[in-house]
Chain A
Amino acid sequence: MITQPQAMATPTPDPDEERRRIQTARLVAYRDDGPLAHALSSKIGAGLPPVPATLVALLAVVAITVAGLLGSGGPILLLPVAIVLLLVLPTTPRDHLGRFDWLTPPLLRAAEFFTIIAVGLAADAPKWLLFVLVYVVGYHTYDTVYRTRQSIWPPAWVFRAGLGWELRLLVIGVGAALDVLTPVLAVLTAYLFVLFAVESVTSWVRLDKASAQAGADAEQDLEASPEDALEQATGEAEKG
Chain B
Amino acid sequence: MTRVVLLGASPGPDISPTGLRLAALSGNPTVSERLRSQLTSMDPRFATIPTDDVATALRALADVAEQATESLFIIPENSVVHDELIYQITKSKRGALALVAKEPRVGVTEDNGLEENGPEDNPVEDRIPIDEADPEIGMNRVEGLPVRVRIGKSRVVSVGTASHAVTRPNAVVLGPLHVSARNAPKLAETCRELAAMADRFGADDDLVQLVVFGLVRNGVSVGIRGRRDLFYRRVTTQEEINEAGAEMAGMNEDRARLNNAVKGADGFFTTFFVSTYSRYIARWAARRGLTPNQVTLISIVLGVAAAACFATGDRPWMVLGGVLIYFAFVFDCVDGQVARYARKFGVLGAWLDATFDRFKEYVVFAGLAVGWVVSGNGEEIWILALAALGLQSVRHLLDFSFGVANRRKPPAPLPTTPLDAPDDRDLRQKLTARKVERSQGVRGVLKMWTKAGKYRAVHWARKMIVFPIGERFAAIAITAALFDARITFITLVIWGSVAAAYTLTGRLMRSLV
Residues of A near any B CB (own CB < 8 A): 19-20, 23-24, 26-27, 30, 97, 99-106, 109-110, 113-114, 117, 121, 127-128, 130-131, 134-135, 138-139, 141-143, 145-147, 150, 152, 204, 207, 209, 212-213, 216, 218-223, 225-226, 228-240
- Alpha-carbon distance A238/B507, docked complex (angstroms): 10
- Alpha-carbon distance A237/B451, docked complex (angstroms): 9
B221 touches A234 (CB 8 A): yes
Q: A30-B401, A226-B402, A238-B510 are in contact. Are A99 and B386 (CB under 8 A)?
A: no
Q: A23-B405, A219-B340, A229-B403 are in contact. Are A204 and B390 (CB under 8 A)?
A: no
- Alpha-carbon distance A45/B95, docked complex (angstroms): 43
- Alpha-carbon distance A225/B499, docked complex (angstroms): 13
A239 touches B347 (CB 8 A): no
A219 touches B94 (CB 8 A): no
Interface of A is mostly: helix
Which of B347, B396, B405, B469 interacts with A152 by CB under 8 Å? Answer: B347
A235 touches B223 (CB 8 A): yes
Can you list the 10 inter-chain pairs with the closest CB atoms, starting with the nearest? A240-B506, A127-B382, A102-B405, A235-B154, A226-B403, A20-B406, A138-B393, A222-B354, A113-B390, A106-B397
A134 touches B350 (CB 8 A): no
Chain A residues lying within 8 Å of B223, measured Cβ to Cβ, are 235
- Alpha-carbon distance A232/B223, docked complex (angstroms): 10
Q: A130-B386, A138-B358, A234-B221 are in contact. Are A204 and B407 (CB under 8 A)?
A: no
Proximity bits, B469-498, A CB within 8 Å = 1, else 0: 100000000000000000000000000000
- Alpha-carbon distance A114/B379, docked complex (angstroms): 18
B450 touches A97 (CB 8 A): no
Interface of B is mostly: helix
Q: A131-B385, A204-B348 are in contact. Are A240 and B450 (CB under 8 A)?
A: yes
User: Is B410 an interface position by the 8 A CB rule?
Assistant: yes
**Interface size bucket, B side?**
35 or more
Chain B residues lying within 8 Å of A223, measured Cβ to Cβ, are 354, 357, 469
The minimal Cβ–Cβ distance linking A13 to chain B, given in whole angstroms, is 15
B401 touches A220 (CB 8 A): no
Residues of B near any A CB (own CB < 8 A): 91, 93-95, 153-155, 221, 223, 263, 265, 336, 340, 345-348, 350-351, 353-355, 357-359, 362, 365-366, 369-370, 379, 382-383, 385-386, 389-390, 393-408, 410-411, 446, 449-450, 453, 462, 466, 469, 505-512
- Alpha-carbon distance A131/B369, docked complex (angstroms): 10
B383 touches A27 (CB 8 A): no
- Alpha-carbon distance A145/B93, docked complex (angstroms): 21
A27 touches B404 (CB 8 A): yes
Q: Nearest residue in B to A216 (C-beta to C-beta)?
A: B347
- Alpha-carbon distance A230/B221, docked complex (angstroms): 14
The minimal Cβ–Cβ distance linking A81 to chain B, given in whole angstroms, is 17
Chain B residues lying within 8 Å of A97, measured Cβ to Cβ, are 406
B93 touches A30 (CB 8 A): no
Q: Nearest residue in A to B502 (C-beta to C-beta)?
A: A240
Q: A131-B369, A235-B154 are in contact. Are A150 and B407 (CB under 8 A)?
A: no
Q: Nearest residue in B to A225 (C-beta to C-beta)?
A: B399
Chain A residues lying within 8 Å of B155, measured Cβ to Cβ, are 235
A237 touches B450 (CB 8 A): yes
A219 touches B154 (CB 8 A): no
Q: A233-B94, A239-B453, A240-B449 are in contact. Are A209 and B401 (CB under 8 A)?
A: no
Among B347, B355, B362, B469: residue with most chain A CB under 10 A: B347
15 contacts between A and B (CB under 8 A): A27-B401, A102-B407, A113-B390, A127-B386, A134-B389, A145-B396, A146-B350, A218-B345, A222-B351, A235-B94, A237-B453, A238-B510, A239-B506, A240-B449, A240-B509
The minimal Cβ–Cβ distance linking A127 to chain B, given in whole angstroms, is 3
Q: A131-B389, A233-B94 are in contact. Are A110 and B353 (CB under 8 A)?
A: no
- Alpha-carbon distance A230/B369, docked complex (angstroms): 38
Chain B residues lying within 8 Å of A19, measured Cβ to Cβ, are 406
- Alpha-carbon distance A216/B449, docked complex (angstroms): 33
Which of B353, B400, B411 interacts with A236 by CB under 8 Å? Answer: B411
Which of B93, B353, B359 interacts with A233 by CB under 8 Å? Answer: B93
B358 touches A139 (CB 8 A): yes
Chain A residues lying within 8 Å of B93, measured Cβ to Cβ, are 232-233
Which of B265, B389, B408, B462 interacts with A231 by CB under 8 Å? Answer: B265
The minimal Cβ–Cβ distance linking B503 to chain A, given in whole angstroms, is 8
Chain B residues lying within 8 Å of A225, measured Cβ to Cβ, are 399, 403, 466
B399 touches A117 (CB 8 A): no
A134 touches B394 (CB 8 A): no
B154 touches A102 (CB 8 A): no
Q: A234-B221, A236-B154 are in contact. Are A109 and B407 (CB under 8 A)?
A: no
- Alpha-carbon distance A130/B450, docked complex (angstroms): 41
Chain B residues lying within 8 Å of A101, measured Cβ to Cβ, are 405-406
B449 touches A239 (CB 8 A): yes
- Alpha-carbon distance A128/B381, docked complex (angstroms): 10
- Alpha-carbon distance A102/B449, docked complex (angstroms): 23
The minimal Cβ–Cβ distance linking A168 to chain B, given in whole angstroms, is 15
The minimal Cβ–Cβ distance linking B137 to chain A, given in whole angstroms, is 28
- Alpha-carbon distance A195/B70, docked complex (angstroms): 39
Which of B340, B347, B383, B506 interacts with A121 by CB under 8 Å? Answer: B383
- Alpha-carbon distance A209/B346, docked complex (angstroms): 8
A100 touches B511 (CB 8 A): yes
Chain B residues lying within 8 Å of A237, measured Cβ to Cβ, are 450, 453
Chain A residues lying within 8 Å of B362, measured Cβ to Cβ, are 135, 138
- Alpha-carbon distance A229/B402, docked complex (angstroms): 12
B390 touches A209 (CB 8 A): no
A128 touches B411 (CB 8 A): no
A109 touches B347 (CB 8 A): no
Chain A residues lying within 8 Å of B407, measured Cβ to Cβ, are 99, 102
Kindly list 18 other residue pairs between chains A and B, CB separation below 8 angstroms, not including A135-B362, A225-B399, A234-B221. A20-B406, A23-B406, A27-B404, A27-B406, A97-B406, A100-B508, A102-B401, A110-B394, A131-B389, A209-B348, A213-B345, A216-B350, A219-B91, A225-B403, A229-B403, A233-B93, A240-B449, A240-B507
Among A26, A128, A223: residue with most chain B CB under 10 A: A223
A23 touches B404 (CB 8 A): yes
Chain A residues lying within 8 Å of B408, measured Cβ to Cβ, are 226, 230
- Alpha-carbon distance A222/B350, docked complex (angstroms): 7
A147 touches B351 (CB 8 A): yes
Q: A101-B405, A131-B366 are in contact. Are A113 and B394 (CB under 8 A)?
A: yes
The minimal Cβ–Cβ distance linking B182 to chain A, given in whole angstroms, is 10
- Alpha-carbon distance A30/B403, docked complex (angstroms): 12
- Alpha-carbon distance A70/B123, docked complex (angstroms): 68
